[in-house]
Chains A and B, each alone.
Chain A
Amino acid sequence: MLTNQMVQILVFVILTIMTLGGGLGVVSSRNLFHSALFLVLSLVGVVGYYALLDAGFLAVVQLLIYVGAIAVLILFAIMLSRGLMARRQHQRNEQWWIAALVVLLVFVVLLVVLGQVDWPVADEQALLSPNVSVGQLGQVLLGPYMIPFEVISVLLLAALVGAIILARET
């Protein structure tokens, strides 16, 4: 008989395969459109992680923003670009080794940081009854984290204005 924990581990494994496999597909697929679809798969895997962690709001927002908005816009941009129906595209150019080096560096940095930081672990009670409501999230965003929140908003606004200026016909 399947216990709750076993099901969770099973789901976790499936999600991991989805996320990592999707990520692998993004970089190894020879078709740009397929890459974007693999990206969607990977992002949906992350949605699953959030759902598994009982973070319903984050899961839904991840789906809304990354799948509903960003992935659709990426696909849209790909469809508007040249060579649309070309089934094969080059994956590499002569700068591939610089990119590989940077990727490796980022990976090492992340590995070191992840190993060194003393991650806080929630106590048993908090894990059993996760009680973070959207209201609390809102309070925190507009209370202690007000400045970062506003800075990000301004950044996004600047990006929007920049995009409009770039796209406007002179």
Chain B
Amino acid sequence: MEATISWLTTLIPQLPVPTARLIVYVVYSAILAFAAPVVLVVAYTYMERKVLARLQDRIGPNRAGPLGILQGLADAVKMLTKEDITPAKADRIVFNLAPMLAVVAAVLVFAVLPVAPGVIGTDLKVGILYVVAIGGLGELAALMAGWSSNNKFALIGAFRTVAQLVSYEIPIVLAIITVVLASGSMQLGAIVAAQDVPFLFTLPVAFLIFFVASIAEIGRCPFDLLEAESEIVAGFHTEYSGMKFAMFFIGEYMHLFSAAGIATALFLGGWRGPGAGEASILGVLLGFVYFLAKTTLLVFVMMWVRGTLFRIRIDHLLDFGWKFLVPVALFLLVAVAFVLKVPVLNSPTFRWLGMLAANGVVILVSLALVVLAARHSRSAALRGVAGVDG
């Protein structure tokens, strides 16, 4: 990153070095934080439509351009030309601020995302904590949008959003702490560097918790009750149209990408792969390709889940978060902390095996407890699930 910037600075010799550096830095950040995510949004909406169409035995977009790849562009133009409506009794300032904040919250995460070897906005020492903190801004945006629209559906949507985000933040943070414990750092660069074996294989349960909670955090099916169209129209952005709606939309897909990117960095080894490294341009590019491939794989799984599962009920959603994910994540954290402190396991291989064993024990014990509880449940349906005659 530093080397790239220095090299780019030499390309504009007419200017004094600090000024040239500043310009390069601003352009670089703009590309990293704005242009790339917007291109990704277009690509991912296309991908989502195609994947969902395939899962539902349809063809999907096929009119705009070959195989419909220009559909995203067509949608963008349509959004921009739509009438911009503000409800008469809306709180104008807050109503207009909310979509901006939503996009800003989504963009800020890109500052710490390690997309390729040495290519990261700033490798903050508290990088992963920063990602969690930025999540709060997204909640704020949803609340502002829901309140200022002066619409009961928007308001209920905002309530649901916050209830869901606040509940699922806890398992996310606990899963992240597990990774931080195992890697010994909150710096995303260092976490990637620590994964000689990706944490997916040593901390599979933490990955599952993180992934499921991430899906809830970005409000995708099966956790999309914040915009359940059959109940509350479109949730907190019911009253938004045109460009402002597009901003929520862009924010949502950036969020999807950044959530998958963070999961990649934390559990799939980030940009790591054969041949990737900071030494050569080829290594950097290869690292970028690995990162993109892993992230897209995770995004694909999220789309797959969306095409397969139906929406979960709000009480089930909260119960699942608080009564299953949080306790499992807590026990996992304690178990992993314990394993890391056992003096016998001082070689990396033993450590990995120990963590894997801890994961296995935690998930087996928790599933056994769930089955036990279901067997003694008063509900016949639950007993049926647990394999006891009703």
Contacts and interface: CB of A to CB of B under 8 A. Distances in A.
A75 B159 contact: no
B126 A79 contact: no
Interface string A55-82: 0110011011001110110011001000
B68 to A, nearest CB: 39
Interface stretch (B128-136, B202-210, B360-368): B128-136
Given A63-B133, A67-B140, A68-B137, 12 more contacts: A1-B18, A33-B147, A57-B126, A63-B134, A64-B129, A67-B133, A67-B136, A68-B135, A69-B136, A69-B166, A72-B136, A134-B125
Contacts of B18: 1
Interface residues of A, number: 25
Nearest to A69: B136
A71 B143 CA distance: 11
Contact of B94 (A1, A37, A57, A76): A37
Interface residues of B, number: 31
Interface in B143-180: 143-144, 146-147, 150, 155, 158-159, 162, 166, 169
B124 A75 contact: no
A18 interface: no
Which 7 pairs across A and B sit closest by C-beta, in order of nearness?
A68-B136, A64-B133, A63-B133, A60-B129, A60-B126, A60-B133, A75-B143
A159 B155 CA distance: 28
Most chain B CB neighbours (cut-off 10 Å) among A33, A34, A68, A84? A68
8 contacts: A1-B16, A31-B91, A60-B133, A67-B140, A72-B136, A75-B143, A75-B147, A79-B146
A26 interface: no
A133 B187 CA distance: 11
A46 interface: no
A76 B126 contact: no
Most chain B CB neighbours (cut-off 10 Å) among A33, A40, A60? A60
Interface of A: 1, 31, 33-34, 37, 40, 56-57, 60-61, 63-64, 67-69, 71-72, 75-76, 79, 84-85, 87, 133-134
B4 interface: no
A40 B94 CA distance: 13
A61 B94 CA distance: 25
Nearest to A76: B162
Interface of B: 16, 18-19, 89, 91, 94, 124-126, 129-130, 132-137, 139-140, 143-144, 146-147, 150, 155, 158-159, 162, 166, 169, 186
A75 B169 CA distance: 18
Given A1-B19, A72-B136, A72-B166, A60 B158 contact: no
Contacts of B125: 56-57, 133-134
A76 to B, nearest CB: 6
B158 A72 contact: no
A160 B129 CA distance: 24
B132 to A, nearest CB: 6
A134 B147 CA distance: 37
Contacts of B166: 69, 72
A57 B127 CA distance: 9
A37 B139 contact: no
B129 to A, nearest CB: 5
Contact of A79 (B89, B91, B150, B159): B159
A34 B94 contact: yes
Nearest to A40: B140
A79 B133 contact: no
A68 B138 CA distance: 9
B124 A56 contact: yes
Contacts of A84: 147, 155
Most chain B CB neighbours (cut-off 10 Å) among A61, A84, A85? A85
A80 to B, nearest CB: 8
A86 to B, nearest CB: 11
A66 to B, nearest CB: 9
